A and B are shown apart, each in its own frame.
Chain A
Amino acid sequence: MKIFFKKEYFKRNEFYIFVVLIVLSLILTLINPTFLTFNNIFDLLRNNSFLGILALGELIVLISGGIDVSFTAITTVSQYIMGLIITSYYLDNIFLTFLIPIPIGIILGLINAVIIYLTKVHPVIITIATLNIYYGLLIFFTGGKWMYSFPPSFTNFAYIKVFQISTPEGITGLSIFTLFWFLLAILTWVILRYSPIGRKIYAYGGNAEAARRAGFNILNIHLFIYGYMGLLSGIAGFVHAQLGQIIQPNAIVGQELDVIAAVILGGASISGGSGSVLGTILGVLLFAVIKNGLILMKLPSYWHQVVVGLIIAIAASFTAYQSKMKNKRMVKIDVE
């Protein structure tokens, strides 16, 4: 227990997010007791696994000092091609189905990486461009048709639970997709903490010029960052199709800012160099709880956007204020 009371834990950003998350959950429970039921919590974790997986990829991009807004298009493209293949060849094997979107995502991510590295144009511009290119080409070639009748293996997979519990409202459990999310979170954490490339990403985000001078291979760093974002986009494409059991080309594009907001809410800095996996998970959960709360409170949906905007502004100002206070403590000089 001792380590939980170490002083530095309270200084960390994650601690504040955690406290806000708990307080908010309690308030919501008081307003609507159905909030804090197993059923609702497992639903929340299942439905947000899609956002959560994308947030992990965006976290790495933000730590490196970059930004990616094209991942929704990558997710859509990889998901759509997966859907086309399994419906037209009637591929009834969930494992092979899962493997289809991954290479597509990685390739599209690597294209981003190469363009960003070669042109040296800010990633936000490049990824806005590729978002439109990827998405535009998809709509052009497919006509934007919806898909909804999939082989049985695809349909059955969505109901798999890691474990089940019975509650007064019925049987519920932890979805396989939540497991996906948490396993990928652990993978991301290990990469960031224990692999040289992970540490190089932090270093590059902290001072790009110093990274160049230290002899880091900047192209490799770019390939890894945007390739990893592509990989996670591919997996998220699979998860999204599973959750809805429907593939619509226009369902995902437009959610970029939600993902970025959740990551920033989790303490990552838009200027690079900082951010953590734990913070990102908490950020996604906080974001999810707020949205869920607004629904449970039966507020009209346009208020959702207002609230989301306010939260982003407050969270970002808080982070900036904290670092300002840190600096202030430093410049004070001693006067007798």
Chain B
Amino acid sequence: MSEILLEARNINKYYGGVIALSNLNFVIKKGEVHCLVGENGSGKSTLVKIITGVVQPEPGAEIIIDGVKFTHLTPLEALKNGIQVVHQDFSLFPNLSVAENISIAQYIKKFKPVNWKEINSIAKETMNKLGINLPLNVPVNMLSIADQQLVAICRSLASEAKLIIMDEPTSSLTREEVEHLFKIIKDLKNQGISILFISHKLDEVLEIGEVITVLRDGKKIATVNRDEVDKQKLTFLMTGKEIVFSKNQYKSFENNVVLEVKGLYKKGQFSDINFKLNKGEVLGIIGPLGSGKTELALSLFGMNPPDKGEIYLQGKRVKFNSNIDAIKNGIGYVPEDRLNQGLVLNHSVENNIVITILSKILNRFRLIDSLKKRNISEDAVKKFNIKCHSLDAPVKSLSGGNQQKVVIAKWFLTLPKILILDGPTVGVDVLAKNSIYETIKELVSHGVSIILISDEIYEVLNNCNRILIMKKGKIVDMLYPEEITEEELYQKVWSKEDKLKVL
């Protein structure tokens, strides 16, 4: 199995004056699980686009697939040569059935009437090959995210894929689903299909990859075998810097309860939630997908009123009917889906920052005072170290990490007592993660209490004073990071037996 499936030589790509890829050479063998890692902007997606024919490389490039030489590919040529992508959004047809989604390539072949028996049998055979059993006639939008991904994988297999490119395939899967996906990837490999696996999660890259290619600033830094590297080394290759995630020591929080939750319950979401939050404390809530942690956060923020239970703010019982009540009481919430829920992407950095405090920057005619607005947003950009070339730049032109900081900054300006950060580092790269952790330190130094919701072990371990583990709607454990190692916490969070420990 050392035959070469795809070789790319001399790949250059410029966008205007910017070099996206420079002089790249790249080989994928048959039946190989090849991982592609790199920071945002390192050229991963440009490389994928060139391999799939979506963009054309500069002249002089050669792409050889199974011995056939191309100077560039068109999307149709890429598909015909067995290059398939499982996109991060899966690119499925939500209104069509599972069977039709899997067999969709049938429609591209020559004109012939649709044979529904054939559509169903192709889908069935493909699923059998991977040991998957999904109902054929259910529309895809009725499936869970993990099952939708399986449909997308089956579709590429049914389209006679030789190479399946998976773009961030694990970003919305639970740990169990990730394990199932890895089993499927191994099955695909055994059937001689190559996988190009693109991920930010280095643990997973090291778990599934055989060969790892690292990109940085449009250049290939290295192609290494799995055995030659560890996480530290990969991080160094990706960033060119030694990054040590040091444990943050917030020993100094005052023993002064700002938030207390007693017996919070919401049907079908969570039950029996009790905890306290101190001033200046960072409290981590970790748990697998579907543990109810986001639902709980939304309840604290007034957007998902609980059925039973009590919430106390500084000893005073409160009841939030909407997030307006929560904001008035000094609670802020930074959502996981910052693009849709946290930012107005087309608007400027400045306008996004001041959106929560418009009523505080009015002049005597009750109109917005642009000088005040400018000063406040300039301060915030400095304080949180937001990198943007101008305050008037639209927020969508910023990198993911800086966008996240804009959301945090705008909530900071409301002078919250409590800030709930839901998955603050989802989809941002290693360096940006680090600077978001710095931002959390900054917030704490101003006496803000933080609830950090995450499913990344090292994130809660390195940033929190206390960690709550949530599973199936219940808090099952409370831990202090200094008393536990990464492995132990990992075991506790992802273990399958859910012994309920009484706190």
Contacts and interface: CB of A to CB of B under 8 A. Distances in A.
Nearest to A196: B107
B473 A333 contact: yes
A226 interface: no
B292 interface: yes
Contacts of B142: 326, 330
Nearest to A273: B95
B114 A214 contact: no
Interface in B471-485: 472-474
B75 A215 contact: yes
Given A195-B114, A210-B93, A335 B87 contact: no
Contacts of A70: none
B290 interface: yes
B85 interface: yes
A153 interface: no
Interface stretch (B216-224, B265-273, B373-381): B265-273
Interface in B83-132: 85, 87, 91-96, 100, 104-108, 111-114
A202 B96 contact: yes
B99 to A, nearest CB: 11
B304 to A, nearest CB: 12
Contacts of B358: none
Given A195-B113, A206-B96, A213-B85, A335 B269 contact: yes
Nearest to B291: A333
A104 B269 CA distance: 59
A207 B270 contact: no
Interface in A201-255: 202-203, 205-207, 209-211, 213-216
Contact of B95 (A206, A215, A335): A206
A202 B92 CA distance: 12
A331 to B, nearest CB: 9
A210 B91 contact: yes
A210 B114 contact: no
Contact of B292 (A216, A326, A335): A335
A214 B96 contact: no
A213 B292 contact: no
Contacts of A200: 107
A213 B93 CA distance: 11
A329 to B, nearest CB: 9
A334 B472 contact: yes
Contacts of B474: 335
**What DSSP secondary structure best describes chain A's contact surface?**
helix
A7 interface: no
Contacts of B107: 196, 199-200, 203, 216
B79 interface: yes
A6 interface: no
Nearest to B272: A335
B362 interface: no
A122 interface: no
A194 B144 CA distance: 29
Contacts of B269: 333, 335
B268 A332 contact: yes
B245 to A, nearest CB: 31
B76 interface: yes
Given A193-B114, A333-B268, A214 B104 contact: yes
Give the most central of B76, B93, B96, B268: most A CB within 10 Å.
B93
B16 to A, nearest CB: 23
Contact of A335 (B75, B76, B105, B271): B271
A335 B108 contact: no
Contacts of B114: 193-196, 198-199
Given A199-B100, A215-B79, A333-B473, A194 B113 contact: yes
Nearest to B267: A335
Interface string B276-303: 0000000000000010100000000000
**What DSSP secondary structure best describes chain B's contact surface?**
loop
A309 B104 CA distance: 39
Contacts of A205: 95
Nearest to A334: B472
B105 A214 contact: yes
A302 to B, nearest CB: 38
A199 B112 CA distance: 12
B61 to A, nearest CB: 22
B312 to A, nearest CB: 24
B393 to A, nearest CB: 26
A169 interface: no
What range describes how many residues of A lie at the interface?
A: 20 to 34
B12 to A, nearest CB: 25
B472 A207 contact: no
Given A194-B113, A334-B472, A215 B108 contact: yes
A214 B108 contact: yes
Given A214-B104, A215-B76, A273 B94 contact: yes
A204 to B, nearest CB: 9
Nearest to A210: B91
Given A196-B111, A333-B290, A214 B270 contact: no
Interface in B42-84: 75-76, 79
Nearest to B113: A194
Nearest to B79: A215
Contacts of A332: 268
A336 B292 CA distance: 13
A326 B142 CA distance: 8
Contacts of A326: 142
A16 B114 CA distance: 29
A301 B93 CA distance: 43
A207 B142 CA distance: 15
A215 B100 CA distance: 15
A205 B139 CA distance: 14
Contacts of A330: 142, 144
Nearest to B265: A335
A274 interface: yes
Contacts of B270: 335
Interface string A280-302: 00000000000000000000000
A180 B270 CA distance: 59
B93 A335 contact: no
Contacts of B100: 199, 203
Contact of A336 (B76, B111, B472): B472
Contact of B93 (A194, A195, A206): A206
Interface string B129-158: 000000000000010100000000000000
A75 to B, nearest CB: 29
A199 B105 CA distance: 11
Given A196-B107, A207-B92, A335-B270, 20 more contacts: A194-B113, A195-B113, A198-B114, A202-B95, A202-B96, A205-B95, A206-B93, A207-B94, A209-B91, A210-B91, A211-B93, A214-B91, A215-B76, A216-B108, A273-B94, A333-B269, A333-B290, A333-B473, A335-B268, A335-B292
Interface of B: 75-76, 79, 85, 87, 91-96, 100, 104-108, 111-114, 142, 144, 268-271, 290, 292, 472-474
8 contacts: A196-B107, A198-B114, A199-B100, A206-B95, A210-B92, A213-B85, A333-B269, A335-B472
